[in-house]
Amino acid sequence: MQTIGHLINGELVTDGERFQEIVNPSTNELEAQVSLADRETVEKAVAAAADAYPAWRSVPPIKRMRIMFRLKDLLEEHADKICALLTREHGKVLNDAMGELQRGIENVEYVCALPELLKGEHSRDVGPAIDSWSEFQPLGVCAGITPFNFPAMVPLWMWPMAVACGNTFVLKPSERDPSAALYIAQLGLEAGIPPGVLNVVNGDKEAVDTLLTDRRVQAISFVGSTPVAEYIYTTGTASGKRVQAFGGAKNHALVMPDADLDNAASALMGAAYGSCGERCMAISVVVAVGDATADALVEKLKAQIAGLKVGDGRDNTNDMGPLVTRPHLEKVTGYIAKGVEEGAELVIDGRGLKVKGFESGNYLGACLFDKVKPGMVIHSEEIFGPVLCIMRADTMQEAMQIIDDHEYGNGTCIFTRDGEAARYFADNIKIGMVGINVPLPVPVAYHSFGGWKHSLFGDLHAYGPDSVRFYTKRKTITQRWPASDLREGAQFSFPSNR
Ligand code: NAD
């Protein structure tokens, strides 16, 4: 059986005594086992990154950038292999895997402007013969801890920018689907990243805790569920690290009575059920303003759900693949049972779906709840499956209050034909990423990604301009080369330009 190991100092190694099985979610057949790094293995990776740092930080940014150009080419050249790994371990449909990879490549493309992005700020003559400038220096060893749902894209949010800025890096991918991240890191080395600059350790809590407390690690980027994000943030910052920790979500779409409901229903189908709802920007709740809007929307969604095709991810005619693991399937079906028990109306029940030829897979058909109320567990908690909840509000203000009162604040969107309402919504809603007739407002690579409230612990968002700031430290230098006629005696009052 294949053993997936670690990439440390340019070498693939499989140290350690603990392993976890990697099963194909479509069949539940064993594909491989992943080595779970112990403290010693992680410390070796951190040591490799620390040793590689002094030389790497001195490489001119334009040379680091050229490696990113080569990486982009390699990612495109090997896209089919990467996507096959994504589908084998995550389950998502190949076309969707290709979309994920493309969004990851766009992050690499943004990094290809590195010398421009790293330019500092300069002021001449801030005082007599005094110039001042700010530059952005790398931090040292940075680490990234990533979730199962975007095994290629989320690591690409992190290490290309971190490494291009002159840092060295240790990545800890999700142990549920680690192969794509490991392979992409190998492509990074093939593109020219020197050994030790980029390392990958596979593992679980033990590996993460080692990264969180190792004094050589300067910064941590985390993406995953909210309880773990909060733990990473509090533990990492307590040990003096810069931390950005992206957590879970419950993204609401607000549908106004004047919306183009056919368009809204189609948009919601993809946003709720694409990738089986296992997206942190998936729409999992619709708040319809007015019963007539809700009734019409439910009818349109029912019709479209009837045509949804669920099956093996290798078949691109499918709309949805399986859920990632059997325990995750059980967790999602547990939420559906809970919703019924709480009195929500289960309009479409996708449980018990059997896919011909893949009867042992983690399949769940699309589920639709109506008349969901605030306070129900299916509204307060993140389900992370193909379950869409419809809520009803009498007014736009009431609908916005439901969204604002929620613990999470990742994404939201409004469907309307009314520009004034849309502008009011975008201006006032307490959510980090907002769509107007756009159901999944995932920012493009040259903006930055991040939620509010319990969807992000930390300040700077992921990728784009914020990531340049996250992976660098500002240093401000003030310089004077006094000419002989400018010599001054000792000054004891605070210098100013009075
Ligand atoms: P998860 O929190 O279970 O795991 C994420 C990472 O943390 C993994 O690498 C895992 O090994 C590690 N981990 C898990 N438990 C840990 C613990 N107790 N201590 C230390 N490390 C631990 O998340 P997941 O199930 O892999 O991913 C799905 C979650 O990620 C969802 O909640 C989803 O909303 C969220 N997510 C958020 C974003 C975002 O940008 N906000 C993006 C993608 C996914």
Name the residue of 6, 18, 280 whose CB sits within 8 Å of the most ligand 1 atoms, as the mutation to test its pocket.
280
Residues 306 and 322 in one domain: yes
Q: How far apart are CA 312 and CA 326, in angstroms?
A: 15
> Tokens representing 290?
């007015």
pLDDT, average across residues 2-26: 95
Residues 144 and 87 in one domain: yes
Q: How far is the CA of 58 from the centre of ligand 1 (A)?
A: 34
The pLDDT tens digits of the residues spanning 119-152 come to 999 999 999 889 999 999 999 999 999 999 999 9
Q: Is residue 491 part of a domain?
A: no
The finding on whether 385 has its CB within 6 A of some atom of ligand 1 is no
| pLDDT confidence bin for 360, thresholds 50/70/90 | very high
Residues 266 and 191 in one domain: no
Q: Is residue 234 part of a domain?
A: yes
The finding on whether 208 has its CB within 6 A of some atom of ligand 1 is yes
The amino acid sitting at 21 is: E
Domain range enclosing 171: 3-247+455-477
Which stretches of 181-333 are assigned E, i.e. beta strand? 198-200, 217-223, 242-246, 251-255, 283-289
Q: Is residue 497 part of a domain?
A: no
Residues 206 and 130 in one domain: yes
The pLDDT of residue 334 is 98
Of all residues in the chain, the percent with pLDDT exceeding 90 is 95
Q: How far is the CA of 226 from the centre of ligand 1 (A)?
A: 8
Q: How far is the CA of 396 from the centre of ligand 1 (A)?
A: 33
The pLDDT of residue 296 is 98
Q: Is residue 469 part of a domain?
A: yes
The finding on whether 369 has its CB within 6 A of some atom of ligand 1 is no
Residues 152 and 272 in one domain: no
CATH number at residue 284: 3.40.309.10
* Surface-to-core class of residue 63, CB atoms within 10 Å of its CB (0-12 exposed, 13-18 middle, 19+ buried): exposed
The pLDDT tens digits of the residues spanning 302-331 come to 999 999 999 999 999 999 999 999 999 999
CATH number at residue 104: 3.40.605.10
The finding on whether 148 has its CB within 6 A of some atom of ligand 1 is yes
pLDDT at 481 over 90: no
Residues 277 and 179 in one domain: no
280 labelled catalytic: yes
Residues 41 and 166 in one domain: yes
Report which ligand 1 atom has the smallest distance to the Cα of 232: 20
Report which ligand 1 atom has the smallest distance to the Cα of 148: 26
The pLDDT of residue 486 is 66
Residues 55 and 27 in one domain: yes
Give phi and psi for 25, each to the nearest 5: -65, -15
pLDDT, average across residues 328-356: 98
Strands 217-223 and 242-246, bridge-based pairing:
parallel
pLDDT at 487 over 80: no
Q: Measuring CA to CA, which residue among 226, 85, 77, 220 is closest to residue 151?
A: 85
Name the residue of 92, 174, 250 whose CB sits within 8 Å of the most ligand 1 atoms, as the mutation to test its pocket.
174
Residues 225 and 275 in one domain: no
Report which ligand 1 atom has the smallest distance to the Cα of 146: 9
Annotated catalytic residue: which of 280, 367, 389, 413? 280
The finding on whether 175 has its CB within 6 A of some atom of ligand 1 is yes
Q: Measuring CA to CA, which residue among 414, 457, 450 is closest to residue 433?
A: 450
Q: How far is the CA of 449 from the centre of ligand 1 (A)?
A: 16
Alpha helix segments (H runs only) across 112-225: 114-117, 153-164, 179-191, 205-213
The pLDDT tens digits of the residues spanning 440-465 come to 999 999 999 999 999 999 999 999 99
Residues 281 and 360 in one domain: yes
Q: How far apart are CA 358 and CA 285, in angstroms?
A: 30
The pLDDT of residue 390 is 98
Name the residue of 149, 154, 220, 408 whose CB sits within 8 Å of the most ligand 1 atoms, as the mutation to test its pocket.
149
The finding on whether 228 has its CB within 6 A of some atom of ligand 1 is yes
DSSP 8-state secondary structure symbol assigned to residue 343: T
Q: Is residue 490 part of a domain?
A: no
pLDDT, average across residues 220-239: 98
The pLDDT of residue 490 is 84
The finding on whether 439 has its CB within 6 A of some atom of ligand 1 is no
The pLDDT tens digits of the residues spanning 168-207 come to 999 999 999 999 999 999 999 999 999 999 999 999 999 9
Q: Is residue 306 part of a domain?
A: yes
8 A C-beta contact, residue 172 and residue 142: no
Residues 324 and 214 in one domain: no
Q: How many domains does the chain have?
A: 2
Q: Is residue 442 part of a domain?
A: no
Q: How far apart are CA 408 and CA 385, in angstroms?
A: 17
Residues 386 and 470 in one domain: no
Q: How far is the CA of 319 from the centre of ligand 1 (A)?
A: 24
Q: How far apart are CA 411 and CA 452, in angstroms?
A: 9
Q: Three-class SS of residue 47? A: helix
> Tokens representing 14?
């499989």
The finding on whether 174 has its CB within 6 A of some atom of ligand 1 is yes
DSSP 8-state secondary structure symbol assigned to residue 315: -
Q: How far is the CA of 224 from the centre of ligand 1 (A)?
A: 2
Q: How far is the CA of 148 from the centre of ligand 1 (A)?
A: 7
Q: How far is the CA of 248 from the centre of ligand 1 (A)?
A: 8
At 402, which helix (H) or strand (E)?
helix 396-405
Q: Is residue 255 part of a domain?
A: yes
Q: How far apart are CA 257 and CA 240, in angstroms?
A: 50
Please give the ipTM for the structure prediction.
Answer: 0.99
Report which ligand 1 atom has the smallest distance to the Cα of 410: 41
The finding on whether 178 has its CB within 6 A of some atom of ligand 1 is no
